[in-house]
Amino acid sequence: MHGLSALQQAAAIRAGELGPVELVEHYLDRIERLNGRVGAFSHVAADRARAAAAAAQKRIGEPDLPPLFGVPTAIKDITGTSDMPTSFGSAAFKDFTPPVEAHLVRLLREAGTISLGKLNSAEFGLSAYSDTYAGSSRTPWDLTRSAGGSSGGSGAAVAAGLVPFAHGNDAGGSIRIPASVCGVFGFKPSRGRVSNGPLAHDPVIQLCQGPLSRTVADAAALLDAMAGPVPGDLFWAPPLPAGETFLDRAGREPGKLRIGRFIDPGSSEVDVHPEVREAYEQATGLLVALGHDVEDIAAPFGPAMVEEFTDVWSVRALRIPVADEELLLPLTRHWRARGRAVDSERFLNALQDIQLRGAQAMVTTHRFDAVLSPTGALPPQRPEWFKELGAETDLKRQFLAFPYPAVQNVTGQPSANVPLHWSKDGLPIGVMLTGRLGEDAQLLSLCAQLEAARPWAGRRPDL
């Protein structure tokens, strides 16, 4: 059953060929057998999932069931759920259940999906790997290597077949990085496409909610379920024309597009791995073969942005109040101490600077329908490589591994990891495509065209 896409599962449920109870039990069995190896789930809500599946089973045959009715999913553990714990990836909150739930959690339930629990997240979403009190999320392609972060549990769960698709969120690459190292599709929508409310409004407006999945169509369907403005949101992305869906748009040909490309990470300190270059060149060749015009461009952001982004990110690390900071991981304590050392003038200057540079990058690339770059500069790494020499080296190595994705969080543009390449050692290496602000549908259409030309969903790790 886990070989079916989410949309295939939904169709089988509506046709009476597959039941929600059967499907939920199948995935709970896989989680029991495999989660200890991949570290995807921080909390498994087995009883709640079984109750929801039994209720769904009784509704089979009703007219107008939601498109994803009866399909299992799971929620990243940095997102509020009022019916199960939300730990933010932290031992300081491991027994915390919020009094309210995130809007997207309600929307996914109303869409007919069944949550199997919470997915491991880097503590407070602060790192590009997901090692927490709940365990270490590992890519199913090599269990010695990290599943990325901060949505590492989401990437590992989808890649290991523990759910057909999953929720993630992304404030500095946290959907696209795990998607790349886990060999799945990850989509960060435009700012305001999915509500961050009611509690997760981001003071530096970098956070976006989005899907991770095996197929572009599944991601588009999950985005349809989550997308839409909610009163109280600070930003609303422009809606699709009446009657259209992202799933419909993903099924259309994108037409001939103008695509810019760059591989320069904007810093002489970063050494781009040969396999990453190979993935980038293969993606370029595929785009050209599909009839698109591809043009080399300079990196739209430079090394000066790194220090400013670090200042902003460190202050952002203070947004969650903590009673006992000794319960936090060393890296989180380092981020928070660094944030307290940034005075108000320095923070304001850094925030204004990255926003100005982001705006300039959008102006520079606006003539292109999409921009191609690597997702990361290195293949998947062992989590010990990041942590072995202390917090400062940890931060430096995270930048050396993933220098590309954070700028799209500053600009708010839609951006996707496309899993087109595997290394000679069998490790997934994604490429990143970024669209114009608000043009999520066109970017999904382009990604679906690449998937049709070089399908990846049939590639599965041997677990």
Going across the sheet that includes 370-374, the strands are 165-170, 208-213, 185-188, 415-422, 428-435, 370-374, 258-261, 293-296
Which residues are bridge partners to 72 per DSSP?
114
Structure tokens given for 196: 């961050």
Q: Annotated catalytic residue: which of 5, 42, 76, 130?
A: 76
Query: Which pTM was predicted?
Result: 0.98
The answer, yes or no, to whether residue 236 has pLDDT greater than 70, is yes
pLDDT per residue over 401-455, tens digit each? 999 999 999 999 999 999 999 999 999 999 999 999 999 999 999 999 999 999 9
The string of pLDDT tens digits covering residues 259-310 is 999 999 989 999 999 999 999 999 999 999 999 999 999 998 877 688 999 9
- Catalytic residue, from 136, 151, 174, 373: name it: 174
Rounded to an integer, the average pLDDT of 33-39 is: 98
Q: Which two tokens stand for residue 421?
A: 């390449």
CA–CA separation, 75 and 104 (whole Å): 9
Q: Give the closest residue to 295 by CA, choosing from 263, 256, 255, 262.
A: 262
Residues in the chain: 463
How, if at all, do strands 208-213 and 185-188 pair? antiparallel
Q: Which residues contact 110 (CB under 8 A, 6 or more apart)?
A: 66
Q: Which residues contact 163 (CB under 8 A, 6 or more apart)?
A: 27, 72, 73, 74, 116, 157
Concerning whether 150 is annotated as a catalytic residue, the answer is yes
387 among known catalytic residues: no
- Taken in order of first residue, the domains within the chain and their CATH numbers are 6-453 (3.90.1300.10)
Packing angle between helix 20-38 and helix 6-14, nearest 10 degrees?
Answer: 160
Catalytic member of 90, 115, 150, 190? 150
Taking only the tens place, the pLDDT of each residue in 200-231 is: 688 899 999 999 999 999 999 999 999 999 99
Q: 289 Cβ partners below 8 Å, 6+ apart?
A: 453
- Residue 233's pLDDT is 94
User: Could you give the percent of the chain with pLDDT greater than 90?
Assistant: 96
Q: How far apart are CA 322 and CA 318, in angstroms?
A: 9
pLDDT tens digits, 1-22: 999 999 999 999 999 999 999 9
At 339-387, the pLDDT tens digits run 999 999 999 999 999 999 999 999 999 999 999 999 999 999 999 999 9
Q: Which residue has the tokens 């430096």?
A: 396
- Give whole-number Cα distances, 337 to 241, 264, 387, in Å: 47, 32, 18
Phi, psi of 113 (to 5 degrees): -75, 160
Residues 113 and 22 sit within 8 Å (Cβ to Cβ): no
Active-site residue 174, yes or no? yes
Residue 191: strand, helix, or coil: coil
